[in-house]
Structure 1
C-alpha cells in the first residue's frame, strides 16, 4: 500500500482535485490532504515500514515568487526525501521547467503535461514493484551527475475517462469541458502543455457532473475552457458549432430547472475568443445563462502585438465582439495585457485608445501585466517596462471604475520571476525562443 501525501494548496486546487479523483479510483494508496508543510513532514515521518511513501505537489510558477513559500518548499522536499519518501511535482511549472523542478527544487520525479494517466500509472507501477521509468510523461534525475531524463509524452487524455473532481468526497469545482488550444499564443502555456487539438468532455458527462453538483447543494454551474465558445470544435480556428453549444445548454438547463441552479458560461473561470463571440451565438447562450458579464480575451489593442504573440485575431474582431455582446444584453469585460516583451509605448497607447473606445460603448476592461512563464515561446523574456504616461492613464481608468485587475501585483510577480530565472531557480533552458528565432521581437 502507498501512503500518498498531497500538498493541498488552494491556488492549484482544481488541478489537484482532478488528479485526486483519478487516484481515488486506484485503491492502491491511502491519501492524505495536507494543508501545510509542517503537516506534510509529520505525515511523512509517521510512515510505517510496510508503506511506500509518496509526497506530491502541484505548482504554478507564480507561487515561487513568494520567497517564504519557495524556501519552505525546498526545505520540506529535502526533509521528506530524507525520511524515505519519493517526491513528485506536477502542474504547469513542472511541465514548463522540469530541469529546475528536479535539479533546484529537489524533486525525484516531475509529471510533464497531463497528470491523470501519468500519475496513476506511476502509482500503479510503484505498487506493483514495476520500473516506474517505463511510465510515459515522467522526467527524472538519472546518474550521479543528476542528468535529467524524460520518458516521452503520454497519449492525450480522453476527458470522458476521468472525473473532473472527487465528488464522493463532497469536493466540487467548475467542470472542465475542453482541453487544448490550436493557436499557441506565444505567452500562454495551454497549447504547449495540453496540445493544439481540442478535446471535449461529452455533453452527457458534463450534464451528469452538473447534476451531481446540484444534488450536493451547489447552485452555480461554472466551466473551465480556454474558450467556452470552442466547445465541440476539432480546432480553435473552426467556426462555432452552435448546435453543439445549444445542446449543452439545453441539457444543463433541464438540470437547473429540476434542482434549482444557475448556469454561468463565458465568464469566470473561462472566457471567449473575440472571433467566436458572434451575435447569433451570444443570442443563443443568453437564453440559458445567469451571467450578464461576458469575458472576452482581447489581449492587446495593437495589431503589431497581436501578430507578435500569434493571437489569431485583430482589433476589429475585438470591437465586433463587444458590440455583439452589448446588443445581446451582456456587459463585456475585455481582457488586456500590457508589458509584452518588445512592446513599445506606442503599442501600449494603442491598447489604451481601444480600451477607452470600448469603455465608451459600455464595456469594462480587465487589465493584466505580462507574466513570463517557462514552457512558452516567449519564455523568460523580460516584460516591457511601463512608461509614466501609460501607467498614469491606466491608473486613471481604474480609478474611474472603468478598468480593474491585479496588474500592479502582476508587475511585481513578473519582476520576481525574472529574478528567479537570473538566480538559476528557474533553469536557463527555459529562456524561450531567441530573437533570431523570433526576428519580429527585436526593435
Structure 2
C-alpha cells in the first residue's frame, strides 16, 4: 500500500477532484488529504513501516506569484524528499514548465497533460515494484545527476472512463462535459494541454453524475467546458450540434424535475464562443436553463489583435452574439482581455469602444488583464502596459457598474510571473524540453 499525501488546494480543486477519483478507484493508495504544508510534513514524518510514500500536488503558474507560497512549497518539497518520499506535481504549470518544476521547485516527477491515467499507471507501477520511468506522460529528474528526461506523451483519456469527482467521498463539483479546443489561441493553455480535437462526456454519463450531485444536495448543476455550445462536435470550428445540445438539455431537464434542480449552461465556470451563440440555439437552451447571464468570450475589440492571438472570430461575431443573447432573454457578459504582448494603445481603445457600444445595448463587460503562461505560443512574453488614458476609461466603466473583474489583481500577477521568469524560477523552454514537445497539440 502506498501512502499518498495529496496537498489539496481549493484553487485547483476541480482537477484535483478528478485525480482523487482516479486514485480512489485504483485502490493501491492510502490517501492522506492535506490542506497545508505543515500538515503534509506531518504526514510524511510518520509513514507506516515498510510502506512507500508519495507527495503530490497540482499547480497553476499564478500560485507561484505568492512569495510565501513559493518559499513554503520549495522548502516542503525539499524536506519531504529528505524523508524518502517521492514528490510529484501536475496541473497546468507542471505541463507548461516541467524543467522548472523539477530543477527549480525540486519535484522528482512532473505529470504532463492529462493526469487521470498517468497517475493510475504511475501508482500501479510503484505498488508492483515496476519501473515508473516507463509510464507515459512523465518528465523526471535523476536524483543523483539532476538530468531531466521525458517518457513520451500519454494518450488522451476518454472522459467516460473516469469520474469527474469522488462522489463516494461526498465531493461533487461542476461536471466536465468537454475537453480540448480546436483553435489554439496563443495566450490559452487549453489546446496545448488537452489537444485540438474535442472529447465529450456522453449524455448518459453527464445525466448520471447530475443525479448523483442532486442526491448529495447540489441542486444547481454547472458544467466545465472551453465552449458549452461546442458539445457534441468533433472540432470547435464545426457548427453547433443542435441535435446533441437539445438531447443534453432535455435529458438533464428530466432529472432536475425529479430532484428540484436547476441547469446553468453557458455561465460560470464555462462560456460560449461568439460565433456559436446564434439566436436559434440560444432560444432552445433558454427554455431549459436557470441562468440569465450568458458568458461570451470576446477577448478583444481589435480585429488586429483577434487575428494575432489566433482567436478565430472577428468583432462582428461578438456584436452578433450579444444581439442574439439579448433577443433570447439572456444578459450577455462579454470577456475582454487587455495587455496582450504587442497590443498598442489603438488596439486597447478599439476594445474600449466596442465595450461601450455593447454596454449601451445592455451587456456587461468582464475585464481581464493578460496573464503570461508557460506552454502557450505567447509563452512568457512581456504584457503591454496600459496607457493612462486606457486605464482611466476602464476605471470609469468599472466605477459606473458597467464593467467588473479582477483586472488590477491580474495585472500585478502578470508582472510577478515575468519577474519569476527573469529570476529563473520559471523556464518556458530549457534543456531541450520545449513545452510544445511535451503537451498534446494534436489531441
TM over 0.5: yes
Distance 1:326 1:232 in 2: 25
Question: For 1:400-426, what per-residue CA distance to the aligned partner results, in whole angstroms no more than 9, with x for missing partners?
Answer: 000000000000000000000000000
Question: Residue 15 of structure 1: SS of its match in structure 2?
Answer: helix
Distance 1:132 1:432 in 2: 22
User: Within 2, Cα distance between the matches of 1:31 and 1:145?
Assistant: 31
Contact 2:374 2:428 in 1 (8 A): no
2:108–2:143 CA contact under 8 A, matched in 1 = no
Write out aligned runs for 1:195-234 (5 A).
Answer: 195-234=195-234
Give the superposition deviation at 1:432: 9.1
Change (3 A) 1:168 1:40: same
**Distance across 1 between alignment mates of 2:142 and 2:409:** 38
**How many Å apart are 1:143 and its aligned residue?**
7.0
What are the superposed Cα offsets for residues 40-68 of structure 1, whole Å, 9 maximum, x if unpaired?
Answer: 00000000222100000100000000000
Partner of 2:97: 97
Please list the CA deviations of residues 108-142 of structure 1 after superposition, one character each: whole Å capped at 9, or x if unmatched. 00000000000110000000000001100000013
1 CA distance for matches of 2:244 and 2:2? 42
1:188 Cα offset (Å): 0.2
Match of 2:115 in 1: 115
Partner of 2:124: 124
Give the equivalent residue in structure 1 for 2:68: 68
Structure 1 contact 225–271 (Cα < 8 Å) conserved: yes
Q: CA deviation at 1:148?
A: 1.1
Rounded Cα–Cα distance in structure 2 between residues aligned with 1:387 and 1:154: 44
Distance 1:323 1:377 in 2: 32
Tell me the alpha carbon deviations over residues 320-356 of structure 1, each in whole angstroms, 9 at most, x when there is no partner.
Answer: 0000000000000000000000100000000000000
> Which runs of 5 or more structure 2 residues have no equivalent in the other structure?
436-443
User: How far, CA to CA, are the matches of 2:28 and 2:306 in structure 1?
Assistant: 48
How far 1:70 sits from its partner (Å)?
Answer: 0.2
Q: Secondary structure at the match of 1:426?
A: coil
1:216-235 Cα offsets, whole Å, 9 max, x none, are 11110000000000000000
Structure 2: distance between partners of 1:356 and 1:294: 18
**4+ residue runs over 2 A deviation:** 142-145, 430-433
RMSD: 1.1
**Superposed CA offset, 1:154-211 (max 9, x none):** 1110000000000000000000000000000000000000000000000000000000
Kept after mapping to 1: 8 A contact 2:196/2:235: yes
* 1:5 equivalenced with 2:21 (yes/no): no
Structure 1 counterpart SS, 2:244: helix
Q: Is the 8 A contact 2:379 2:428 kept in 1?
A: no
- State how far apart, in whole Å, the 2-side matches of 1:429 and 1:50 are: 39
Confirm or deny that 1:273 pairs with 2:273.
yes
Alpha-carbon distance, 1:267 to partner: 0.2
* SS in structure 2 at match of 1:318: helix
Q: Which residue of 2 aligns with 1:440?
A: none
TM-score, length basis structure 2: 0.97
8 Å Cα contact 2:226-2:271 kept in structure 1:
yes
What's the CA shift for 1:75? 0.3
Higher relative contact order (CA 8 A, sep 6+): 2
Contact 1:192 1:375 in 2 (8 A): yes
1:156 aligns with 2:151: no
Q: Distance in 1 between matches of 2:139 and 2:313?
A: 36
Residue 250 (structure 1) aligns with: 250
Of 361-370 and 44-53, the range deviating more from structure 2: 44-53
Runs of 5+ in structure 1 lacking a partner? 434-443
Tell me what 1:437 maps to: none
How many residue pairs get matched? 433
Superposition pairs of residues 26-425 of structure 1, within 5 angstroms? 26-142=26-142, 144-425=144-425
